[in-house]
């Protein structure tokens, strides 16, 4: 089973550039499914800069695979997500001015609040995930909160400006994966992963899913979304379970 989940936010970014109907994230998602994606991810941001509420409902209605919803831990998003009922929700930090999610969610000191926030999702049988940095304190807090998954933020690794930094960030991620697994958390990885830097995980087992958007949507401009997804599936399919 391929471990790739494709984030189609940027398809909506392009559509919103003209506030029209095309390109449609649902069509892109359906082609990504045909090319082997295990699931589709969207982030419904508070400012609705790309994905709109109607997109989330359309995706839920028409997808053949799983819908994962990234969202801020706000009452508004909780209400929408409980109505849509995606396969999984992933809580992410959100700042209005950022270009994209810049770091992991802070779970330390927030255990009670986040655990209460996740309770209705658990009651509705929706899987829960927390997008966090590769930091042992955050991982322990995620376990206390009772999330099913963590998604380890790979953005610092992807953005490393030299080899030493890259190696350090990779080490942090690998130890974070081991720690999370030992605490009974399932692990996804995401942010900034592309066709090259993902190779660092080719011998790493125990990763459930890779969440990838920008590099795939960028490549799809040149080769089409089917090929762009298929090429990433092919890479990830070589990795161990």
Instruction: Find the shortest distance in angstroms from Cβ 90 to ligand PXP.
Output: 6
Report if residue 92 touches ligand PXP, rule: CB under 6 A: yes
Peptide bond into 23 cis (omega under 30): yes
Query: In this complex, which beta carbon is closest to ligand PXP, that of residue 99 or of residue 164?
Result: 99
The per-residue DSSP string of 104-169 comes to: ----TT-HHHHHHHHHHHHHTT-EEEEEE-S-HHHHHHHHHHT-SEEEEE-HHHHT-SSHHHHHHH
- Smallest gap from Cβ 188 to ligand PXP, in A, equals 8
Instruction: Give the pair of three-digit tokens for residue 121.
Output: 């999702």
Question: Dihedrals φ, ψ of 186, to 5°?
Answer: -85, 150
C-beta separation of 33 from 64 below 8 A: yes
Within 143-202, the residues that bind ligand PXP by CB under 6 A are 151, 190-193
- Give me Rg for the CA atoms of the chain: 17
CB of 129 to ligand PXP, least distance (A): 9
Q: Which two tokens stand for residue 221?
A: 């401009």
For residues 79, 84, 86 and 91, what is the CA-based torsion angle, rounded to 10 degrees? Answer: -20
Q: What residues between 61 and 90 interact with ligand PXP by CB under 6 A?
A: 70, 90
Q: Taking CB under 6 A as the rule, which mask of x and - marks residues 6-45 in contact with ligand PXP?
A: -x-x---------------------------------x--
Active-site residue among 50, 68, 70, 153? Answer: 70
Annotation marks residue 191 as catalytic: yes
Nearer to ligand PXP, 123 or 186 (CB): 186
Of 51, 48, 92, 87, give the one whose Cα is nearest residue 74: 92
CB of 213 to ligand PXP, least distance (A): 3
Q: Is 211 in the site for ligand PXP (CB under 6 A)?
A: yes
Q: Are 87 and 39 in contact (CB under 8 A)?
A: yes
- Any contact of residue 98 with ligand PXP (CB under 6 A)? no
Query: In whole angstroms, what is the distance from residue 16 CA to residue 19 CA?
Result: 4
Residue among 4 and 84 whose Cβ is closer to ligand PXP: 4
Q: Return the residue of 23, 59, 213, 229 that touches ligand PXP, per CB under 6 A.
A: 213
CA 153/CA 191 separation, integer angstroms: 6
Counting every residue written for the chain, the total comes to 241
Single out the catalytic residue among 10, 33, 43, 209.
43
Q: Which active-site residues does the annotation give? A: 43, 70, 191
Residues near ligand PXP (CB under 6 A): 7, 9, 43, 70, 90, 92, 100-101, 131, 151, 190-193, 211-215
């Amino acid at each position: 089973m391929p471990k790739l989940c494709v984030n189609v936010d940027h398809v909506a970014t392009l559509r919103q550039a003209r506030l029209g109907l095309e390109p449609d994230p649902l069509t892109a998602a359906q082609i990504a499914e045909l090319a082997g994606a295990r699931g589709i991810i969207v982030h419904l941001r508070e400012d609705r800069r790309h994905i709109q509420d109607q997109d989330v409902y359309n995706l839920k209605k028409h997808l053949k695979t799983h819908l994962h919803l990234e969202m801020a831990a706000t009452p508004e998003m909780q209400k929408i997500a409980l109505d849509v009922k995606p396969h999984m929700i992933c809580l992410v930090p959100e700042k209005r001015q950022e270009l994209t999610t810049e770091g992991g969610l802070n779970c330390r000191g927030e255990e009670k609040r986040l655990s209460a926030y996740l309770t209705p999702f658990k009651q509705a049988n929706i899987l829960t995930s927390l997008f966090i940095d590769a930091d042992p304190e955050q991982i322990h807090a995620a376990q206390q909160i009772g999330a099913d998954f963590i998604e380890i933020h790979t953005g610092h690794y992807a953005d490393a400006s030299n080899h030493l930094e890259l190696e350090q960030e990779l080490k942090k991620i690998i130890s974070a994966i081991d720690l999370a697994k030992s605490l009974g958390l399932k692990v996804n990885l995401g942010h900034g992963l592309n066709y090259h830097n993902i190779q660092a995980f080719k011998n790493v087992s125990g990763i459930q899913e890779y969440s990838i958007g920008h590099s795939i949507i960028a490549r799809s401009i040149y080769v089409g979304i089917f090929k762009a997804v298929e090429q990433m599936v092919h890479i990830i399919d070589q990795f161990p379970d």
